[in-house]
Amino acid sequence: MSQLRARTLSASEHGAFFELTAAAFLEEPHEDWRAAHREVFDPERAHGVFDGPELVGGGEHLSSRIALPGGADFPLAAVTSVGVRPGHRRRGVLTELMRAQLESLRGSDEPLAGLVSSEGGIYGRFGYGVSTRDGVLTVPRGAPFRSTVEVDPRPVRELDLARGEAFATELHRLLWTQRPGWLAHDANWRNRVRNQHAFQWGAGALRCATHPDGYVFYRPKPGWKPEGPEYGLRVVELVARTPAAYAALWRHLLDTDLVAQVTWPRAAVDEPLLAMLENPRSAELRVLDGLWLRPVDLDRVLAAQQYSAPCEVVLDVHDAFCPWNADRWLLRAGADGSAEVARTSSAPDLALDVSDLAAAYLGGTSLTTLAAAGRVVAHSPEALRAATRAFATERAPHCPRNF
Ligand SMILES: CC(C)(COP(=O)(O)OP(=O)(O)OC[C@H]1O[C@@H](n2cnc3c(N)ncnc32)[C@H](O)[C@@H]1OP(=O)(O)O)[C@@H](O)C(=O)NCCC(=O)NCCS
């Protein structure tokens, strides 16, 4: 009878871990990818699951930062490289990994874990919830703006990647905490932006265009037909300091010769572009799950974000995978947006799973919507209304990047 055992890895095990990940994702272990991954690999943040001496599963959590409502810059354990060797699946290897990983985060400096999931049905059982949504946004070339849209007339220029990355990182540093769900440009950002083999959708080399107040990274996807060119542009990251710079960057993309359409697979679901187009039906938006968050120490996570309205609500939280969170919690948010969270024996107002709190966190899905979906039980309609208002945010949370 095989015995699964999870433990952190040693530096010398990088090669085995990397090859396991590549095999799990049906990828070739490209050498440039291996070298890029070694740069961010921290063995103490990587777990392997062993069946006897054999490494059969693994995953790592990189050190990142996430913007929370109210502008807090909060540590995030960015879970990635999760994979189980084909032939060893559906025997609890991932479950063993998740348990080891979440237990290692408990009481640590990183009480919040997050990931971008390969498939949608995997992580809810481990207490992860959909905290941001990806808008798969497609706009045809040349789509005109409404006449009232101001386009910053200063030029958009293509830059080489090294200069583009330096400019982007500087601007991003000033802006990123303004949007709940955005992540800091950490050590893994360049690695991912440059080497997203699996996520290029057949698109070509990364390009960068900058404006004095913004930038966009994108990849052209070649396409030729007998009648002529039909390129696609895939946006990787677009950031602007002002609405007029945002408009200028979009015009740069939409007016590129040879191109049939521009797609941003990880746009915000409330992307302002949707309200700028003369013909709103010209854009297509498909909504998918984006960043999944997992509060590991629930009270610290709930107290870290700012709330939009005062509320005092008792949450009866179910958490089968991290039972230390399963309790009644009094969440008291003040008029200044700050909150205190403490265990309580008072009667509950709302009963919900920890993954539902993750879905409401950052202002993603409203608690009222979750109650309508049967996921939140409201013992008090007033408390549900108050909590819904408190968790709401001005803009939809957005996480434009994978990690
Ligand atoms: C997804 C993956 C990690 C699952 O590993 P595993 O060891 O087979 O998972 P477990 O045996 O621990 O399964 C735990 C539970 O999750 C379910 N599950 C596992 N993979 C699933 C999937 N892709 N979709 C839906 N449910 C899934 C199992 O059925 C099981 O359910 P149960 O608790 O109700 O019995 C593995 O299939 C894999 O490596 N896939 C390819 C790479 C990948 O997608 N990695 C995830 C990156 S985000």
Pocket test for ligand 1, best of 122, 123, 125, 321 (most atoms within 8 A of CB): 122
Give the chain's end-to-end CA distance (angstroms, integer). Answer: 36
Residue 123 annotated as catalytic: yes
Site of tokens 């572009």: 273
Burial 17-47 (b: 16+ CB within 10 A, else e): bbebbbbbeeeeeeeebbebbeebbebebbb
Question: Which among 17, 50, 123, 246 is annotated as catalytic?
Answer: 123
Q: What is the pLDDT of residue 1?
A: 52
Q: List pLDDT tens digits, range 354-374.
A: 999 999 999 999 999 999 999
CA-CA distance, 223 to 313, in Å (whole number)? 55
Tell me which residues of the chain have a pLDDT lower than 70: 1, 195-201
Predicted pLDDT of residue 172: 97
Give yes or no for residue 87 CB within 6 A of ligand 1.
no
- Please report the pLDDT score of residue 197 as a whole number: 54
CA-nearest residue for atom 5, ligand 1, is 94
Token pair of 400, please?
């434009």
d(CA 241, CA 139): 22
Phi and psi for 150 in degrees, rounded to 5?
-90, 125
Catalytic residue list contains 126? no
User: Taking phi first (over 0 means left), then psi (-120 to 50 degrees means alpha), and beta for anything else, what does residue 249 get?
Assistant: alpha
- What are the angstrom distances between the C-alpha of 7 and each of 60, 90, 308? 11, 19, 41
Which atom in ligand 1 lies closest to the alpha carbon of residue 120?
A: 24
85 Cα to the center of ligand 1, angstroms: 11
pTM reported for the whole predicted model: 0.97
Q: Which residues are registered as beta bridge partners of 351?
A: 316, 377
- Kindly report the protein residue whose alpha carbon is nearest to atom 12 of ligand 1: 92
